[in-house]
Structure 1
Amino acid sequence: MTAPTSLPRPVGRLLLGAFLVVAGVAHVVARQEFHAQVPSWFPVDADVTVLVSGAVELALGAAVLLAPRARRPLVGWLVAGLFVAVFPGNVAQYVEGVDAFGLDSDGARLTRLFFQPLLVLWALWSTGAWPRQRDEEGRA
């Protein structure tokens, strides 16, 4: 049984998809800014990392926007996984004190870290991933 659809969830999904597509394009257009999020210890070249992560965001953004209803929960879990995977880069930006995207103070960089769990929740909620997972576990 799928969760009932209400207007906020589809709007949230469309906004999430658009956010990811814009972020993916920004990875190409403003690559230097995104270098700030690649930890100094990361073993892959910063430019390659930024371009690959941008391509992943573009692909996932398109999937969020275009996936058939039955596939949306899977896409939601993948997007949530992306947000978890990039979190160490956000932490590194804070720890290493690298300025980018207007985050020019430790306080601003620290505050940003608290928004990452909200992105994960947004991905799971707007795609119906969380309610579907709960429904499937209840039937097992």
Structure 2
Amino acid sequence: MNKLTNIQIVTKILLGTFLMFAGISHLTWSRTEFLAQVPSWVPLDGDLVVLLSGIVEITLGLGLITLIKKSAHVGLITAAFFVAIFPGNISQYVNRIDAFGLDSDEARLIRLFFQPLLIWWALWSTGAISFFRKRSQSK
């Protein structure tokens, strides 16, 4: 197990809280907004995608907060989730879809640059970067 610093623990809990909040909003008050981000090429019903992604976000958020001994693994899975949903953000930009107050090309473009930060946040705050680096060096 990797020993996390206090700042990593705090930021991991913040990310977990953020994900749980976002997941709950997927299932309730922001369903329509999230539906606007589901690319048309996804072969599932858009509302189902929103509901399933909300459940995944709640699960990841809970995992980040509670699965202390598996933080690095949960961080890796969370980062992979952020990679998996990135096409929705790109679709919103390319198709000029207004949602979440992103009502200009500039705003939608700027948002794209925040996804790599979320990926990094998930990996750094959980110690996944150092955990997997040490693990690969020991082989």
Please give the TM-score of this superposition, normalised by the length of structure 2: 0.96
1:28 aligns with 2:10: no
Deviation at 1:68, TM superposition (A): 2.7
Residue type of the partner of 1:84? V
The unaligned stretches of length 5 or more in structure 1 are: none
Could you tell me how far apart the structure 2 residues matched to 1:55 and 1:17 are? 13
Q: How many residues align?
A: 138
Letter in 2 for 1:135: K
Equivalent-residue separation in structure 1 for 2:22 and 2:4 (angstroms):
27
Quote how far apart the aligned CAs of 1:73 are.
0.7
Residue number in structure 2 paired with 1:91:
90
The alignment's C-alpha RMSD in Å is: 1.1
Q: Deviations over 1:27-66 (max 9, x none)?
A: 0111001011101221111100000000000001000010
Q: Which residue of 2 aligns with 1:59?
A: 59
Cα deviation digits, residues 54-91 of structure 1 (max 9, x gap): 0000001000010032x111100000000000000000
Scaled by the length of structure 1, what TM-score is found? 0.95
- 1:1-140 alignment runs, 5 A limit: 2=2, 4-29=3-28, 30-69=30-69, 71-140=70-139
Give me the whole-angstrom Cα distance separating, in 1, the residues matched to 2:136 and 2:77.
Answer: 19
Aligned residue for 2:97, secondary structure, equals coil
Whole-Å separation in 1 of the counterparts to 2:86 and 2:60? 17
Rounded to whole Å, the distance in 2 between the matches of 1:138 and 1:34 is: 40
Percent identity of the aligned residues?
51
SS in 2 for 1:43: coil
CA contact (8 A) 2:31 2:50 kept: yes
